[in-house]
Amino acid sequence: EKAVNLKKDLAEMQEWMTQAEEEYLEKDFEYKSPEELENAVEEMKRAKEDVLQKEVRVKILKDNIKMLAAKVPSSGQDLATELNVVLENYQLLCNRIRGKCHTLEEVWSCWIELLQYLDLETAWLNNLEERVQMTENLPDKLDTVNDALESLESVLRHPADNRTQIRELGQTLIDGGILDDIISEKLEAFNARYEELSHLAVSRQIALEQQLQTMRETDHMLQVLQENLAELDRQLTSYLTDRVDAFQMPQEAQ
């Protein structure tokens, strides 16, 4: 009777494993929204816990069959053969569910990481847009234009590492058919804004550099003119002090 019960337990265990495989491993999943992906991750976590909890039952079956084999070798031998099949299938099921759970967790982590990088770069774009706007309608002062140029250049020196991560993470998920529509839309919007603001910022940078160069040249010309006028004033003052007749002066002094 004990052998019959153990055989029944083995059959039930095998049936449960077949159902678990169909439910968790053979079902086709489509992850078209973050909610669907997150639900799939949680479901696989529960599946992993459920399968691992069966380890105690498998161990009890194994111990009982060993005890029976010691008492009734003929009955125990047949059950031991069936047990080996069940143990092999159980280990395979555990490994496959662990693998799928790990894969889904990695995918979810990839999605979260993509969102974090997008947030960082969006904040940088907001800052860049603000700096570009600050360069408009500047007072015609050398220091003001120079400060605006340096401020804009400091933002433009932003490294490209984050954008590389965004491109690679997004492509990885899209290639896997995961959230591809949502990610494509996000990347398209981000890249369009990045290109627009980058071109605008570089154009403003060039314009400010040209404006600054013109102002410096004008400033230099004024400085030279002031020095010449000061020298001329000194000479005229000297002539007047010495009561020199105008017709005795050099032509330029007259």
Residues 6+ apart with CB under 8 A from 56: none
- Which range scores top for mean pLDDT: 8-17, 185-194, 233-242? 185-194
- Using one digit for the tens of pLDDT, what is the confidence trace for 160-173? 899 999 999 999 99
Per-residue confidence (pLDDT) for residue 248, from 0 to 100: 59
H or E element: which one contains 218? helix 180-241
Per-residue confidence (pLDDT) for residue 198, from 0 to 100: 94
Confidence of residue 235 (pLDDT cuts 50, 70, 90): confident
Nearest to 208 by CA among 254, 252, 155: 155
Residues 6+ apart with CB under 8 A from 169: 110, 113, 114, 117
Whether residue 251 is predicted with pLDDT greater than 70 in this model: the reply is no
Mean pLDDT of 73-87: 79
Q: Which of 62-71, 82-91, 150-159, 227-236 bottoms out in mean pLDDT, i.e. has the lowest?
A: 62-71
Higher pLDDT, 254 or 244: 244
CA 53 to mean position of chain CA atoms? 37
Residues 6+ apart with CB under 8 A from 66: 76, 80
CA distance 252 to 254: 5
Cβ atoms 201, 128 nearer than 8 A:
yes
Global pTM value:
0.78
Phi, psi dihedral angles at 25 (to 5 degrees): -115, -30
Nearest to 104 by CA among 188, 220, 24: 24
- Using one digit for the tens of pLDDT, what is the confidence trace for 104-114? 999 999 999 99
Tell me which amino acid residue 20 is: A
Confidence of residue 246 (pLDDT cuts 50, 70, 90): low
Higher pLDDT, 252 or 33: 33
Per-residue confidence (pLDDT) for residue 77, from 0 to 100: 74
Mean pLDDT of 1-30: 83
CB pairs under 8 A, 24+ apart, for 153-161? 153/205, 155/124, 155/127, 155/128, 155/131, 155/201, 156/128, 156/201, 156/202, 156/205, 158/124, 158/128
Whether residue 240 is predicted with pLDDT greater than 80 in this model: the reply is no
SS3 207: helix
Per-residue confidence (pLDDT) for residue 28, from 0 to 100: 65
Domains within the chain, CATH numbers bracketed? 1-211 (1.20.58.60)
